[in-house]
Amino acid sequence: MSPTVSKPRILVVEDEAIVARDIQFQLVELGYEVAGHAARGDEAIELAGALRPDLVLMDIQLAGEMDGIAAARVMRNQFGLPVVFLTAFAADDTLDRAKLSEPYGYILKPFSERELRTVLTMALYKHQAEAKLWENTLQLQSMSRRVLEAQEKERRRVAHELHDELGQALTAIKINLQSRGHFQGGATDSLDVENIRILDDALQQVRRLALALRPSMLDDLGLGPALQWLGEQTALRSGLDVKLDIPRLEPRLPPEMETACFRIVQEALTNITRHAKAKHVSIALQRQETSMVLTVNDDGCGFDLAAVRARAIQGGSIGVLGMQERAMLIGGQLDITSSPGQGSQLRLHCSLRRQGERL
């Protein structure tokens, strides 16, 4: 037996009873199922939530305070339903308002059966394609999140082993060399002195590598102290004047948000150091009750953002795309503004989740 193909279910929203019955009849003739009928905007929203049709055929002019455009906007935002407008009005201002609700079609009365079929078929196809694209996007985001989590976990593990295992082994060798000189009456030969100096350099390098991989203060103390350390290290290495305005964050941000913010600032400072020819950099963090804004400004030579993105898409530097990916995975909005000779600004805006919510 061949599988039964379900008919697309259409919700009709029309306040003229005779017109509504005619539309329903035509829909049945075209092979659709009429999910329901509403005459008012608020009634249509209630039915849409309860019935979850495949598409809403909506007249713009409706009885009551809410017209079809306002109802369509609510349906799209709350339920993700595709809406096709059916109206006798073609004024420019009406069309402009209708665009704001992102309709999937616009049919002017009077209309032919062929026109109705064509618009509905294309609207349903477009909605299905967008739904598939959104599903694929969510899958890619989930994979990216797992990859970044695994990367940070591995960074944390390697940093721990460098600091605790290799660092302790080098320290033990240094102590043994120093002890040998002590047992020989306090005299340490020149070879041991040189070996101790080499060990000191190696220990410092191990500590730097461990901190670069995953600074322990990010896990132990939070984002503020970690950014303070990052700014100081950047200033020390590059000679930049780095100013920070980072308030004490209580309670702390979620761990994944702290990590994303730290890595975004780290990448931004790396790019500034390498390319911007800047003298001054400022890093600021503002936390409000339900949101957080992180900014990084420099007075460097600036860059062509469109050109940078084009190179990244072609396989070049992916720093900007990487920052945007991290921002997206924590539900943030990353905006970068720059132009040659005008410096640059990075602005990350994130909504703070409530207790128990997942990002």
- The alpha helices in 80-160, defined as continuous H runs, are 92-99, 113-160
Contact status, residue 37 vs residue 120, Cβ threshold 8 Å: no
What is the DSSP-derived secondary structure letter of residue 111? Answer: -
Given a cut of 80, whether residue 326 has pLDDT beyond it is yes
Given a cut of 70, whether residue 37 has pLDDT beyond it is yes
The pLDDT value given to residue 186:
53
- In tens, the pLDDT along 19-30 reads 899 999 999 999
Looking at the chain, the domain(s) classified CATH 3.40.50.2300 span: 9-111
pLDDT confidence tier of residue 342, bands split at 50, 70 and 90: confident
Least Cα distance to 287 among 335, 245, 344 occurs for 245
- In tens, the pLDDT along 225-239 reads 999 999 998 999 899
pLDDT confidence tier of residue 314, bands split at 50, 70 and 90: low
Given a cut of 60, whether residue 124 has pLDDT beyond it is yes
Distance CA 84, CA 62 (A): 15
Least confident interval from 95-99, 138-142, 180-184: 180-184
pLDDT confidence tier of residue 258, bands split at 50, 70 and 90: very high
The pLDDT value given to residue 99:
78
* CATH architecture for segment(s) 9-111: 3-Layer(aba) Sandwich (3.40)
Q: What angle do CA 319, 322, 323 make, to 5 degrees?
A: 90
Averaged over 308-326, what is the pLDDT? 75
The pLDDT value given to residue 184:
56
Distance CA 21, CA 189 (A): 104
**Quick one: fold of 222-359?**
Heat Shock Protein 90 (3.30.565)
Given a cut of 70, whether residue 91 has pLDDT beyond it is no
- Whether residue 215 has a cis bond before it, omega within 30° of 0: no
- In tens, the pLDDT along 43-53 reads 999 999 999 99
Averaged over 104-122, what is the pLDDT? 88
pLDDT confidence tier of residue 177, bands split at 50, 70 and 90: confident
Beta bridge partners of residue 293, listed in sequence order: 286, 349
Length of the chain: 359
Question: Cα separations (Å) of 12 from 15, 49, 210, 322?
Answer: 10, 14, 63, 45
Given a cut of 50, whether residue 277 has pLDDT beyond it is yes
Least Cα distance to 303 among 324, 274, 333 occurs for 274
Averaged over 138-161, what is the pLDDT? 79
- The alpha helices in 214-331, defined as continuous H runs, are 216-220, 223-238, 255-271, 305-313, 319-329
- In tens, the pLDDT along 182-225 reads 555 555 567 777 887 888 888 888 777 877 778 888 888 999 99
Least confident interval from 2-6, 150-154, 266-270: 2-6
Looking at the chain, the domain(s) classified CATH 3.30.565.10 span: 222-359
User: For residue 295, what are its two tokens?
Assistant: 């900014």
User: What 3-state class would DSSP assign to 66?
Assistant: coil
